[in-house]
Amino acid sequence: MERTRQLIADTALELFSRHGFDHTTIEQVAAAAEV
């Protein structure tokens, strides 16, 4: 479970840096993290 949590956090930070916080959705994070 911790591994999944870390993967989601890392993926979210990567997407935030690419697209900006306001332009990143939960759906995008989940899809990119494959959860």
Residue 1 has what DSSP assignment? -
Q: What is the pLDDT of residue 25?
A: 97
What digits encode the pLDDT tens for the residues 1-35? Answer: 999 999 999 999 999 999 999 999 999 999 999 99
pTM listed for this prediction: 0.86
DSSP string for residues in 7-35:
HHHHHHHHHHHHH-GGG--HHHHHHHHT-
Q: Determine the Cα–Cα distance for residues 35 and 8; give it in Å rounded to an integer.
A: 8
- Radius of gyration in angstroms for the set of CA atoms belonging to the chain, rounded to a whole number: 9
